């Protein structure tokens, strides 16, 4: 009986040690790894605030430490993207890189260009201190750029009190002409809302829109480059915007824009011809349309 009892005791003891080893394995390895996997799922979903505690210097502790370092890098990248993504040239480059449809070395694309400018800005700027002038422009652009982005346009650049926006199939806009016109109507409403606030003297702005082929690509030097668009379409859109004051209207469209529009989509909106207008730098008159 003694050997049997001892054998049973040793077997039971070994069984206990085996069960304890399983528990220790789950406690020291399986549970931490499972929690780390859960945090990784959160990071994959875009939550970069999922750092884990590092209490030991063993392999699991080193794995957790490298996971935290990876999160630091991801957070830094997100911060850089958020900060520099505010600069419109980078915004354009990022969209085009993701679409993979445009060669950054320069490529001809179909697009609609919108120019907008504040009228009589110089007298207003002379009455405001520098800091207040910047605050005014930021408030103004916050209002009038929203319709552009809501319509799928991309703001290429700000030029003092003016801006240039691009609408193109490159950015996923098949009806880029209609999107630009809808954006201009939204800008008209946004400017009226801005003026209703009464914080600044009433502001008038002009919008000019033209559509056609243009060249998109990087311009600059090896050390500093900017993604932009060039060509006659851009120049004509700028000239059309400068005509809004002479034509006593806030939105002017080229004949090419109106010809490409499905006017039925705009309901009661009227497109009234201004007749042939000779734009600065052009040898032949161009028919322009105002939006009634």
Domains of the chain: residue spans and CATH: 2-83 (no CATH), 94-291 (3.30.70.1230)
Determine the average pLDDT of the residues in 42-58: 72
Q: Express each pLDDT in 235-282 by its tens digit.
A: 999 999 999 999 999 999 999 999 999 888 888 889 999 988 888 878
Which range is most confident: 47-51, 112-116, 202-206?
112-116
pLDDT value of position 29: 61
Q: 220 and 111 in contact (C-beta within 8 Å)?
A: no
Residue 26: pLDDT band by 50, 70, 90 thresholds?
low
Question: What pLDDT band is residue 137 in, cutting at 50, 70 and 90?
Answer: very high
Mean pLDDT of the chain: 81
The Cα–Cα gap between 215 and 240 comes to: 19
Pick 172 or 185 by higher pLDDT.
185
Determine the 3-state secondary structure of 241 from DSSP: helix
Distances (CA, A) of 291 to 25, 66, 180, 258: 74, 60, 13, 10
Structural contact between residues 107 and 215, judged by C-beta atoms closer than 8 angstroms: yes
Given the structure tokens 């946004």, which residue do they identify?
A: 190
Which region among 9-18, 24-33, 188-197, 277-286 has the lowest average model confidence (pLDDT)?
24-33
Which pLDDT tens digit goes with each residue over 82-134?
544 454 555 555 655 565 554 556 778 899 999 999 988 888 788 888 899 99
The rounded percent of the chain whose pLDDT value lies above 70 is: 78
Give the mean pLDDT of 157-166.
91
Per-residue model confidence (pLDDT) at position 24? 58
User: pLDDT value at position 93?
Assistant: 56
pLDDT score at 140: 93
Q: Of 257 and 2, which is predicted with more confidence?
A: 257
Strands 154-159 and 286-291, sheet pairing = unpaired
């Amino acid at each position: 009986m003694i050997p049997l009892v001892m054998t049973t005791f040793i077997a039971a003891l070994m069984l206990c040690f085996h069960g304890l080893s399983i528990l220790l394995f789950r406690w020291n390895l399986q549970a931490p790894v499972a929690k780390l996997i859960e945090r990784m799922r959160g990071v994959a979903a875009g939550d970069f605030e999922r750092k884990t505690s590092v209490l030991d210097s063993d392999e699991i502790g080193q794995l957790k430490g490298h996971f935290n370092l990876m999160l630091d890098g991801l957070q830094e990248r997100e911060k850089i993207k958020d900060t520099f993504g505010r600069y419109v040239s980078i915004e354009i480059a990022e969209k085009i890189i993701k679409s993979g449809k445009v060669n950054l070395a320069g490529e001809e694309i179909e697009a609609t260009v919108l120019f907008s400018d504040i009228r009589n800005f110089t007298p207003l700027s002379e009455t405001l201190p520098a800091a207040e002038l910047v605050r005014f422009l930021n408030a103004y652009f916050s209002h009038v750029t929203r319709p552009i982005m809501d319509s799928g346009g991309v703001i290429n650049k700000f030029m003092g009190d003016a801006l240039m926006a691009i609408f193109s199939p490159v950015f996923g806009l098949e009806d880029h002409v209609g999107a630009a016109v809808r954006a201009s109507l939204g800008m008209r409403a946004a400017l009226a809302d801005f003026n209703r606030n009464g914080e600044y003297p009433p502001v008038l702005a002009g919008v000019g829109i033209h559509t056609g082929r243009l060249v998109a690509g990087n311009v600059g030097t090896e050390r500093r480059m900017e993604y932009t668009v060039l060509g006659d379409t851009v120049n004509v859109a700028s000239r059309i915007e400068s005509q809004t004051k002479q034509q006593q209207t806030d939105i002017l469209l080229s004949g090419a824009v109106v010809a490409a529009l499905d006017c039925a989509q705009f309901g009661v909106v009227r497109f009234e011809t201004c007749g042939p207008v000779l734009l600065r730098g052009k040898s032949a008159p161009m028919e322009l349309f105002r939006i009634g």
